Amino acid sequence: MVKVVVKDNITEWRDRVRAELNKLAMLQIRVGILGSADGELLRIAYVHEFGATITPRTARNLAIPLSPSARNKSPRDYDDAWVLDNGENRFLVRDKRSRDGGNNLEFLYLLVPKVTIPERSFIRAGYDAGKNKILAACEWAARAIVFDGISAEIAAERIGVAGVGIIKRYMRSGAILPKSSLTLASAPNKTKPLIRSGRLANAITYEVIKA
C-alpha cells in the first residue's frame, strides 16, 4: 500500500499574500517636498504649486533683477545707481562706459509695487499627468507581493520611488507654464521654470507611513 502525503503549500502562500496586501492597503505613500525640507524650500515649492502675490514688507517697491550681475545683490549695494522713470516703468540704473568710450545705461532692477507669480503646479499636475504610470507601479507592486514574495513595506517603497521619478520627469518635460520675459532677462540660459539650479527637483522625495 502506497502512502501519499500531500503538503499544503497553498494555504501558507494564500495567507501570506492576503496579509501583505492588507498591510499595503494600510500604508500611505506621500510624494513631494515633505516637511523634512528646509523652510525656504517649502515656501518656494508652495508659491510655485499654488501661485502667489508678493508685496514688499518695508520698502516701497520690489526690485526685480534685470542684469545677471545684480541677481545676487541688493539695490543698496550700488552707490552710483539712480531711478529712471519712463512714464510706464521705473528702473534702477547706473551709467556704464562702453568700450568705445561712450556712456551707456546698465539696467539693474525693475522697481514694482508687487509681483504676481502664476501657479506652476508640478506635484498635483505631475500626478494628474502620470496617473497611468502610477497605477502601473501599484499593479507591479501588488504582483511582486503575490509572485515574488516581497513585503508590503518594500512594495510601498518602490511605489514611492516611481512617484518621485514621475514628478521629476514632469518638471523637466516643458509642460509647465514658461518663464516670464523678466525672469528670462536675469537668467537667459535657463528657460525652463523650477529647474534653474535643480534644488527643487532634487528635494522631491517620498515617505511611507501607516494610514
Helix, coil or strand: residue 112: strand
Spatial distance between the Cα atoms of 4 and 54, rounded to a whole number of angstroms: 80
Q: Is the pLDDT of residue 180 over 60?
A: no
- Give the pLDDT confidence of 79-110 residue by residue, as tens digits: 999 999 988 899 999 988 766 666 788 899 99
Taking residues 154-160, report their average pLDDT: 97
Taking residues 170-193, report their average pLDDT: 62
Please, what sign has the CA dihedral across residues 32, 35, 36, 41? positive
Question: Regarding predicted confidence, which is higher, 155 or 76?
Answer: 155
Do residues 140 and 73 lie in contact, with contact meaning Cβ atoms separated by under 8 Å?
A: no
The single-letter code of the amino acid at 88 is E
**pLDDT number for residue 190:** 55
Percent residues over pLDDT 90 in the chain: 55
The predicted model scores a pTM of 0.72
Q: Is the pLDDT of residue 77 over 70?
A: yes
- Give the pLDDT confidence of 129-154 residue by residue, as tens digits: 999 999 999 999 999 999 999 999 99
How far, CA to CA in Å, does 172 sit from each of 40, 57, 103, 190?
22, 33, 41, 12
Taking residues 51-69, report their average pLDDT: 89
**pLDDT number for residue 154:** 97
Q: Take residue 22 and report the three cell numbers written for it.
A: 492588507
Q: What is the mean pLDDT of the chain?
A: 86
Do residues 71 and 189 lie in contact, with contact meaning Cβ atoms separated by under 8 Å?
A: no
Please, what sign has the CA dihedral across residues 123, 124, 130, 132? positive
**pLDDT number for residue 50:** 94
What single DSSP character describes residue 37? Answer: S
